[in-house]
Amino acid sequence: MRWRTVLLQYCFLLITCLLTALEAVPIDVDKTKVQNIHPVESAKIEPPDTGLYYDEYLKQVIDVLETDKHFREKLQKADIEEIKSGRLSKELDLVSHHVRTKLDELKRQEVGRLRMLIKAKLDSLQDIGMDHQALLKQFDHLNHLNPDKFESTDLDMLIKAATSDLEHYDKTRHEEFKKYEMMKEHERREYLKTLNEEKRKEEESKFEEMKKKHENHPKVNHPGSKDQLKEVWEETDGLDPNDFDPKTFFKLHDVNSDGFLDEQELEALFTKELEKVYDPKNEEDDMVEMEEERLRMREHVMNEVDTNKDRLVTLEEFLKATEKKEFLEPDSWESPSI
């Protein structure tokens, strides 16, 4: 449905779970050339967490709004600007009383949850005499002035907050990873200070050995290249590499059949490459670094393929990318060392 796609462009991590119930698009594969076709592993997607502190509230509001026929019809015809500008929020005044009652209850529950968070924080700081109502102002995904009723203002604030927060999601992830790396190195150096010279040399030697082991891995294919996609086609999809077809590949990995590869679907394509470098059983391989590398791969492919920068890859964009020289003859891809 078109309105779902519009929402997906700004809440891609959230809306994916609402699309998985759609029937799959038929795929034209010559079954005489394919042995043991298995469903793609990435098709089993759990409802994702957006990473937002109001994630559950956002999901519940969308679920309830979906049940109203009038609002759903308006969403089908809405474009991105109507949603972002808040014009669509005005349609909330026309939804059924039953839906409004459910939304009112969701808002009361969310306000109650936020107040509990505030109280817990103040209790931990042993702070008394603070105005809880004033503290609610720091949360910009709902109208704190009317804690009992869900109004068009609430929907407008929720959409704008989610849009803004998710647009900065990658930047936040990168910043958190940098802090993680700095803290890890700081703790390593502090630990070395506690050792005598002999033990310190042993630890330094061990650290250098771990770096060498981590860097000793099979070649990592350039993300989004023909070699990388053919490896997924063969090893994940169980298909003959000689039958590789970009259009079929796209349909196979558009797991919710909405006509786009979203960021989550793209990230799933890099698992085989990442497994060449990272193994949770190996001391030298850091799984936090693996997820940062997955993000880096996805951003690279999006920058190359997503020509209109809507954070979604259409079939047309995908096929155009496969016609480029870089698809057949990509530069080498270097994974970061520890």
Q: Convert the pLDDT of each residue in 34-66 to its tens digit.
A: 444 444 444 344 445 556 778 888 888 988 988
Res 41: pLDDT: 43
Give the pLDDT confidence of 236-246 residue by residue, as tens digits: 999 999 999 99
Residue 316 has pLDDT above 80, yes or no: yes
Q: What angle do CA 106, 166, 105 make, to 5 degrees?
A: 5
Long-range contacts of 54-57 (CB under 8 A, 24+ apart): 54/110, 54/139, 54/141, 54/142, 54/158, 54/161, 55/14, 57/106, 57/109, 57/110, 57/113, 57/141, 57/142, 57/158
Q: Which domains does the chain have, with CATH numbers?
A: 54-161 (no CATH), 216-337 (1.10.238.10)
Over residues 13-36, mean pLDDT: 38
d(CA 190, CA 179): 16
For 261, phi then psi, to 5°, come to -100, 115
Angle between helices 12-19 and 152-167 (to 10 degrees): 110
Q: Rounded mean pLDDT of the chain? A: 80
> Would you state the structure tokens that stand for residue 7, as one six-digit string?
């929402």
- Which of the pair, 338 or 236, is modelled with greater confidence? 236
CA distance linking residue 77 with residue 138, whole number of Å: 33
pLDDT per residue as tens digits for the range 70-87: 888 887 777 666 766 667
- Model confidence at 117, pLDDT cuts 50, 70, 90, reads confident
